[in-house]
């Protein structure tokens, strides 16, 4: 192809305000190449631009980060208290701390509570489910047992 035919077949160059309709992959590539780079930081003031300040971190991300750091610190303190002998704690000046009994009691209580809550949840689901011979399981009409009314 000669130069004139090739220019006639190409799309016109993108304008200063690109349209929202992209007609071909070639136009998409040219729009990507010709757009201005976006900078989040103003190099002269070393402060975030207006867009970066407006769209700061999401609260859920901040809470998740703080929660994960708190969990790690609490676990480290718990393990240090549980495994450090009492004479070492006293030599460090730590005299007021819970009994070592609670280092085993609290995790045991939590595990039992979780296991019981799962068993109770499954039991309530079994009570609320109609028997396999019931027409309610075929037609979708559920009758709650008398203990839930």
Structural domain boundaries in the chain: 58-96, 98-128
DSSP string, 22-91: ---HHHHHHHHHHSPPP-SEETTTTEE-HHHHHT---HHHHHHHHHHHHHHHHHHHHHHHHHS-HHHHHH
Give the per-residue pLDDT at 132. Answer: 80
Please tell me which residue, 12 or 127, carries the higher pLDDT value. 127
Give the per-residue pLDDT at 148. Answer: 62
Structure tokens at 43: 């190099």
pLDDT band at 96 (very low <50, low <70, confident <90, very high): confident
Give pTM, 2 decimals: 0.46
Question: Residue 73: pLDDT above 90?
Answer: yes
Mean pLDDT on 37-50: 54
Give the per-residue pLDDT at 38. Answer: 58
**Range in 44-53, 72-81, 115-124 with the lowest mean pLDDT:** 44-53
């Amino acid at each position: 192809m000669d130069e004139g035919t090739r220019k006639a077949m190409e799309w016109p160059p993108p304008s200063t305000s690109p349209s929202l309709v992209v007609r071909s992959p070639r136009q998409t590539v040219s729009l990507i190449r010709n757009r201005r780079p976006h900078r989040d930081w103003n190099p002269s003031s070393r402060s975030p631009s207006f867009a970066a300040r407006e769209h700061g971190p999401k609260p859920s991300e901040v809470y998740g980060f703080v929660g994960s750091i708190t969990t790690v610190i609490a676990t480290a303190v718990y393990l240090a208290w549980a495994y450090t002998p009492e004479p070492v704690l006293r030599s460090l000046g730590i005299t007021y701390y819970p009994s070592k009994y609670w280092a085993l009691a609290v995790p045991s209580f939590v595990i039992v509570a979780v296991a019981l809550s799962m068993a109770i949840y499954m039991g309530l689901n079994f009570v609320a489910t109609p028997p396999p011979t019931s027409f309610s399981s075929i037609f979708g009409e559920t009758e709650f047992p008398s203990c839930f009314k």
